Structure formats: C-alpha cells, structure tokens
Amino acid sequence: MMVVSAQELKSLALDKNIALQSCGDYFALERVLEESAKSSETADDLPSAHAFRLLSHLCLFSLRTNDGDTFSPRFQIDGRRSPLPIDFAGEQTIQLAEAISTFTPPLLLARVADTVWYNDRSRWQIALVAVSAYCACANQLLSGTIRSQFSAPGNDIDFDAFTYFERALEISAQANRKAPFPIEINETFELLYKKTRDSAEFVGFVRMAEMAARSGLRTWEQVSVDALGIAIEADSRNLYPVFRQKIWEIAATAFRRQKNKEQEQICRGKVADAMLAMRSCVSGAGAKASWTMDAIGYLRDAGGFKVRIEELTLELRALQVDALEEMVTFEHSLDLTEELDEVNKAFSELSLSNALRLFVGLAPTPKIGELNERAIKGQESSFHSNFSSHQVDQQGKVISITPSADEGGKLNPEWLKAQRSSNLSFERKYYVSSRIEPARRIFTEKFPVGTYCFDPIVEASPFVPPGHEFIFSLGFSSFFQGDYVRAAHILIPQLEASLRYLLEVAGTPSDKIKADLLQEDRSLSGILTSMRHQLEQLFGPDLTEEIDLLFHHKPGPSLRHEMAHGKFTTGHCYHDDAIYACWWMYRMTATPLLLQWKEIVEDALTRSEG
C-alpha cells in the first residue's frame, strides 16, 4: 500500500470543505471523501486524490464498543474484506500522527487519532486527542449541529452519540489509567446522562447507567435511585414491555451491587412481569410460550420465586399444547419412478447372497464438507438463519435450542451442526423411500427371510460383540420382514455395545473410574464426547459424525436417547430415521466382510440352503 505523506495530508484544506463539516456518520464521511478523491483525479491532482482516498478508507471500518475487537470490516466477501486499522500500521501511522492537527471535522479527527493510537499505544497524547474529538462528536449530535442519516425521525437523541462517548471512555481508561477522566468526558457524560434520565429515553439510559457505574462516574446507589424512578414511570405509562424490562434489570443490578436483597427481588419480579407482558404483544401460542419460558428461566436464576415458577409452569404447559395446533405440515412431492425401476432391476434377478451384499450399499456415508457447503449456501439466502430456533417434542416442550448462524462475525459451529442434522433428515427420507424400503420388499418377495440368512454375517463381523450374534440376527430378520417395532427395539440399543467392543479391541477401553473408585462404561454421549478422537480413528470423521447426528445429537432424531428413556412409540419405529438406523446397523455389520463375501457368506448360505 502506498504511503501518503504528512505534507500531502496537510495540503488538503479540509476545513474549507463544507460538505465534510456537515457529515453526521462515517458512511456519509466516507462518501464525501471518496467524491473529493475522484474530483482530484479529474483535476490530475494525484497526491490529493491519494490523500483523500486514504482518509475515505479510514472511514470504512465499523466501530464496535465493549464487544471484543474495537473495529470490524464493514463488509467481507469471498475471503476479502474492507480495511482495518492494522492495514495502516507502520509508516502510514507515523505520517497520520504528524498531520494530526490538520484533520477536521471532529468526526474525521476522532477516526484518524483513534487509528494512530490503535496502532501505536505509546502515543498517549494522540489518544487524548481522540477522546476530545469523540466527545465533540457526541455533543454535536446532541445539539443537532450534525445528524446521522440513520437516526430515527423524531428521536431526540442520536444513538451514535452513545457509541462515540463510550469509545472516548474506553480510550481514556486505557491510555490514562491512573489519572482522572479528562474534563470533556465528565461534561459529555453529564449531558448524556441527564438527557436520557429526564426525557425517559429508556434504551439510552440503560446504556449510560451501565457505563456510569462501570467507570465510576456514578455510584450504584445513584444509579438505583434514577433507574427505579424511570422504571416506575415506564410502568405507569404502560410503555413497551421490553423497554420496561431493561430498566428494571438495571435497577435490580444496582440494588444487587448494594447488597439490598429485598429491593433486588422486587425489581426482579418486575423484570418477569415485563417479560410476561410481552405475551399480549404477540399473537401465537408458541410465541407466548417462549416469553413464559424466558420468565421462568429468569426467576429460576434469581431464586426465591418457587410458587410463582410453579404457577407459570402450568401456564407454560397449556400454551405449549395450544402451540401444537398452530404447527403445519409442509409437503413436497418427489417422483421416484426412476429410482424404483433401478432398484427393481438390480434386485430382481439376484441370489440370496448377492441380494444381501447389494443391500449394504444402498446409501453412502454423508460427507461433512458437502453438508457444510450446503448449509452455508442456504444460510446466504435465508433470513431465518439470523435468529435462534427452538425444537419441540410431541407435547410441545422445548427439547433443544439452535443458536443463530452468526457468532461474532463467524459461522456458529452449533448452528452449522444443526443444519447438517436437518439436511440429513431429508436425505434419510429419500434413501428409505427410494432404495431401502423398495429393496427390502423385493427381498422378502423373493426369499423366505429368517435368522439363517444373517447368521454367517453376524458370526464373522467384527462389529458384533461376542454373545450378541443371535440378537443381531433376530434384529435383521425382523427388519427385513418389515417388523420395524421389533427391529428398532433390538438393533438401536446394540450400537453402544458394538462401539465399546471395537474401542476395547483397539486398546482404548471406554470405561471410566468414578470418584468413589467404581468403574462403569461410558454411555454413547460419553463416548462421543470423551472418546471422539478414538472413534474417528476407527471410522473416520464422516461416519463418526453420522453416528452422532443419527443416534445422539439434538436437534435430531437422537434415537439412542429416545429409545433408552422409553419415548419410542410404535409410530417412531416406522419413521424414516428408525428404518434408516436399522439398515445402518446392517451396513456396519456387513461392510467389513465385503472383500471376502464369497468365502464367508455365500458359501455358508449355499450350504444352509442345500
């Protein structure tokens, strides 16, 4: 990147640029500076064009106070991003520092000074320049001298003023740790705090109160008095419940910091009241149930609300039942004629041995990379990925919560896993409908199915633990006969036994020693959590993930959990996930024998048939 000199920056005469002085946000500032750069290019004044473009690029990173990294790129596309302060470190920072007195208006001065100090923390004098400039920006927004183009009409306080002040507070605390706050900080704080308190600007007051108490500009006692007064006024005016909730929360926090338990509990009860009041602002029973659940969780964390929690739990159950009536089923027709013809042609002329062999490969192991690509592609065009989602059971109870896709600018791994699980449910339905179930029907029409068909397979398979051979044969026989109730209840519980056996054979037993020195085997959950690396060494990451998503993970079928806790109904046994799981157990059992199928399986079946 070409370095723009301090002399080139000083030659811009920024104070005479009227359009620049009226900018109220960094989007507008960047646009004016870019237009100035283009005008300079047109006039063949390339040094000025380069200087204006540098300043416009400084306006391209977004300010994020009290949120990890102070600055983030305004946009990121295909691995590329807009500039960040670090891109101007080194010589360019030195040149910006030398020209610091040139920059105007305060909005531009604040960004340049902040960038210099961000890249070189030894320049504490320029940090104070940034503090003063940010405070000036906040004051200009408060007075109406400048106004952000994104400010809501009729709003007395531009919310960028809070952001600029908070950044000034952060810089002052970091650059001048032992000294008292500069006078600009105190004066700007008093203006903002008083304006939000007296005008009952609830969101702004909460933000200012938190900053005030955290920085020592106000005591918690002062905050509690002001917050309580505003909260009572908000309730009397019956304002939007979420606003009231935030005010009561800051009041509760203030009383907690003063160790005033009685007042704290009163405020916490008011927080729950505000949450419950949101039920009148939504129409669906599911949304009302969600707010009720939030109130229960809040009161449970607060403690001391046992009776009220019990009452709300009864209300929650009723709302969850009502919510089930609001759910709808989406149907999508698939033409599987081609797939069914292919299965019929493949199985119709096969011998028993070859049919059993071909049945192993009816569906491939899903690839994590391909599932992730599909999820990311869907996320780019899905508005719903910006929000968390709840999964409910047949009674409407929330059994899992999936977070939103975004996690601090990165893709949330929990969301990504939930999307893999969701996409696999459709794949399992497809394979069961188009291949597994049609092949099974053809098989039973051609051959008399019994345990004898599977005895050679289970006796030779390393996937079957010693002593479990007949259980597996009986499960497979039931599965091929279409008795899914028996097959599911026999085969699904065998997974843990097989995994423990394979881990023990591999020299990594799955048992654990408890605190009382007793030993016990890990459950499937424990194996997938504590011994996932060992499983991946045995099966590979893709197959291990399939085990997790089919038998354990929520949201997902969680077949092992549902079966172990007696939640598997007759209907569950005939669901595509259960049918696929039974087939999957067969595939895992038979796959190790494919290379020696004739010697191990075919010859044994020929002898038994003879």
Confidence at residue 605, expressed as pLDDT on a 0 to 100 scale: 83
The bridge status of strand 398-402 relative to strand 389-392 is antiparallel
Confidence at residue 400, expressed as pLDDT on a 0 to 100 scale: 67
The residues that bridge with 63 in the sheet, in sequence order, are 71
- Asked whether the beta carbons of 160 and 148 are under 8 A apart, the reply is yes
SS (H, E, C) 334-399: CCCHHHHHHHHHHHCCCCHHHHHHHHCCCCCCCCHHHHHHHHHHHHHCCCHHHCCEEEECCCCCEE
- The pLDDT tens digits of the residues spanning 282-295 come to 888 888 888 999 99
E-strand ranges in 433-518 read: 511-513
Residues for the chain: how many in total? 610
For the chain, which residues score pLDDT lower than 70?
1, 66-68, 152-156, 200, 327-332, 379-400, 402, 405-409, 511-520, 608-610
- The pLDDT tens digits of the residues spanning 519-541 come to 667 788 888 888 889 889 989 99
pTM over 0.85: no
What is the CB neighbour count within 10 angstroms for residue 88? 23
The bridge status of strand 406-407 relative to strand 398-402 is unpaired
Half-sphere exposure of 339 (CA within 13 A, CB side): 15
Q: Token pair 């881990």 is at which residue?
A: 503
Listed in sequence order, the residues at least 6 apart from 206 whose beta carbon sits closer than 8 Å to its beta carbon are 246, 247, 249, 250
Confidence at residue 458, expressed as pLDDT on a 0 to 100 scale: 93
Q: Token pair 């609300």 is at which residue?
A: 305
Confidence at residue 512, expressed as pLDDT on a 0 to 100 scale: 64
